[in-house]
Each structure stands twice: as C-alpha cells, then as structure tokens.
Amino acid sequence: MSTTVNPVDFASVDRAARNRFLIKLVSMLAVGFGVFLSGFVINEPAPYELYMAVLIVVWALFGLRFSRSVVVLLALLVIFNLGGWLSVAQMPDLKTAPMYMAVSLFLAFTSVFFAAIIEGNHRILPAIFNGYLIAAVCTAMLGILGYFDAFPGADVFTRYGRAMGAFKDPNVFGPFLILPIAWLVHGILVGNLRTLPLRLIPTLILTLGVFLSFSRAAWGMAVLVIAGLALALFIRSPSRLFRLRIVFLAGLAVVVLLIAILIALQIPSVSELFFARAQLVQDYDDAQFGRFARHWYGLLMSVDHPFGIGPLEFGPIYGEDTHNIWLKAALDYGWVGFISYLTLTMLTLGLGLRILFRDRPWQPFLLCAYLTYVSHVVVGNVIDTDHWRHFYILVGIIWGCAALEARHSSLSPTNK
C-alpha cells in the first residue's frame, strides 16, 4: 500500500511558514522603530507618541493579551494617572495640564504594551534593545556634533553649553544613554573578544555623550550601572577564569575612560564646565529657594493638599520644578498618585531582584534594564522622571520579564 502526498500541501505549508516569518520580522521591526523614536523628544507630543499610538492599536486588533502580572502593572499606572486627573480638578486655570496628563496616561500604556509583548514573545527583546541602541548612538552623535558646533545650526542640539542631542534637556539626554551603555558593556564583559571593536566604538560614543551632557546624575548613573554590572556578573559566575576576565576588562575600561576624560579636559571649554558641574552642591541647590529648600516647601505643601495642586503648578510658584519624583508624584498626582507610584516602584524593584540571577534566555536583558532602573530610582530624588519615555520602557521590560518568569514557573514548577 503506497501513500501519495499532494505537492500542493507542501506549497501551502511553505507559504504559511513564510508568512509567519514575515509577520514576526515586521513585528520586530515595528517595535524596534518605535523604541528608536524614543530618542528624539524635542516637543510633546513627540513622534514617538504618534507612532506608538498607531502601533498599540494595530497590535491590539491582532491580539494583545494581558496576563495577571501585566494587569497589576496596568492597574497601578491607571491609579497613578487617576490621581493626576484628580489633581487637575483642583486647578482654577487648566493651562496645559490636560495635555500633560494625556501624555502621562499614554506613556503608562506604552509601559504596559512593552510588558505584554515581551511576555508574549521574549525574542522581541533584541529588537527593543537594538532599536534603543541605534537611537542612543544617533542622538549622542547629534549632541557631540552640537557641542563642538560641527555644522551651522548644530547648537540646536545643545543647551547652556551642554550636549542634549535630540532632547529638550541635557538631564534627560544623559540618562537616556545609560541602558545601551550597560548593554554594550555587558557584551564586552561576556561576549567574544573578537567582537570587542564593534562594541567599543559605540560605547565610546555614548560615554562621550554622557560626559558632554555635564549631567551629574548621568555621570553617577553610568558609574553605578557599570560597577553593578561587573559585580553582578562576578558574583553570578562560579568560574575563576571568567571572574579574572571581568576584573581585567573592568580595570581596562576604567583606564580607557580616564584617558579619554583627561584628553577631553585638555579642551578649555570642556575643562571649565566640567569642574563647575563636578561640584556636588551647586549654587542653585542650597540657595534660599534652591532645590533642597524647594523639597522642604513642597513636602509641607503636599500635606495641605492631599489631592495635589495640579500638574506643572509647582514651578510657577517657586520658580523651578520640584526636581524630586516623590514630591512630583505627591503634588502633581496627589496622595493617590504618590501611593500608587511608591507601590509600583517597590514592586518593580522586588520583582526584578527576585528573578535577577535565574538562568533564562531573557536574563541578560533583565539585568541591564534592572540596574538602569535602579539608577533612575536613585536620581529620582533630585530630578523628575514621570515623562521620560525610556523610563516607561525600562518598567515594561522588567514587568515583561517578571511575567515571563511567572509563566515559566507555572509550566515548570521544578525550575523555580
């Protein structure tokens, strides 16, 4: 008895496989391009918002599933923004508050979106990181060229003599570059040494971008993340040879960076601004109505206004914004927003730490994102981060990996 196979069946199978491949490829390119746009935020709403709005709608039409973990993230972010809208209701003059809160709510949805698609397919993570890396290199180059006035009109990419790339503020530009620096350094520490030059060149570009942003927060974040990455890899590996490699490469990186900084300091304008910015406390920090004094005034104000005073209202009252994400949450989003933001932060830190060293395909991405997120939580004490696009991407990555781990554990209880 013989069996014949219709050749049409093979053709249909090949066509179906080819279509699935094309769908995955287009999906990854679409997500990567969306993340790429997060590096170009000069005005609000930015192209990132417009593109991501379309992408989220299209993705939802073809199936965007929320697990229990992602629903928790969604609930916390919605409550946070609900507090903001309650705060808007306290304002006699709305000004630009509705648009501000609309952007806040949308950014929250982007975080949930990234968490959901990562849980759906962890292979989307390379597309996210590659899109981010390309954006970071591009915007860093713009900032560097702008700082050195490399072409007519290049100063549009600087502010107050500091590189800011395609951002509105050097203090956002610098922190934006931290995640790709962490990812490149991770590749240098654990990857094939033959690919070192390919990683070293963009690492130097991004490091120079951070340096020329003259953001003390970004400088500290870079040190914290790189040191944390080397320490985490050192602890995680049982191999003495690998640990020796970590120590050698970390030491080599420190030497190279110090040499690069010393060379840059030979430029008078760089040297002058560096030593001015390197002071731990600036004049505007400890003045009568300086940053630290405003923190105290803001704390007292938050006690008297449990529903908040309205988004962006603190700046006109005291001349500068809060520059503290906790006060920002309490005053712009009310006590409801503050409690939900605090809960979100604690859960994100706890969930990420609990699974940080588990041997999973997504562990390198989680490690870099988690350390970068920790650095953002730290600098949140001296700066507002509630409208940083990349901050919500970081949250989405960590919660997406946590959701992946929850699903993995439910399928393989013995692998917890």
Average pLDDT over residues 195-220: 89
- Short-list 176, 148, 153, CA closest to 163: 148
- 169 vs 171: CA distance, rounded Å: 5
Q: Is the CB of residue 182 less than 8 Å from the CB of residue 129?
A: no
pLDDT at 284 over 80: no
Residue 107's pLDDT band (boundaries 50, 70, 90)? very high
pLDDT digits (tens, 9 = 90+) for 333-347: 999 999 999 999 999
Q: What's the CA gap between 221 and 185, in Å, rounded?
A: 14
123, 345 Cβ separation under 8 angstroms = no
Q: Kindly state the DSSP code that residue 383 receives in the 8-state scheme.
A: S
DSSP characters for 235-300? Answer: HH---HHHHHHHHHHHHHHHHHHHHHHHHHTTSHHHHHHHHHHTSSS-HHHHSTTSHHHHHHHHHH
Dihedral through CA 247, CA 249, CA 255, CA 256, nearest 10? -160
At residue 1, the pLDDT reads 45
> In which residue are the tokens 């989307």 written?
124
pLDDT at 378 over 80: yes
Decide the pairing of beta strands 162-163 and 158-159. antiparallel
CB 114 within 8 A of CB 397: yes
Rg (CA), the chain: 23
The answer to whether the CB of 99 falls within 8 A of the CB of 44 is: yes
Secondary structure of residue 158 in the 3-state scheme: strand
Average pLDDT, the chain: 87
Token digits of residue 208: 């120079």
Is residue 297 over pLDDT 80? no
**Residues composing the chain:** 416
- Report d(CA 88, CA 79) in Å as an integer: 14
Amino acid at 63: G
Q: Which residue has the tokens 């300086």?
A: 290
pLDDT category, 2, cuts 50, 70, 90?
A: very low
Left (φ > 0), alpha (ψ -120 to 50) or beta: where does 160 sit?
left
Is the Cα torsion angle 155, 314, 382, 307 positive or negative in sign? negative
Answer yes or no: is pLDDT of 9 > 70: no
Full DSSP string of 62-97: TT----HHHHHHHHHHHHHHHHHHHHHTT-SS-TTH
Instruction: Record the tokens describing residue 184, joined without a space.
Output: 């490149």
**How far is Cα 406 from Cα 130, in angstroms, rounded to an integer?**
25
SS3 assignment, position 167: strand
- Reply yes or no on whether the pLDDT at 257 is more than 80: no
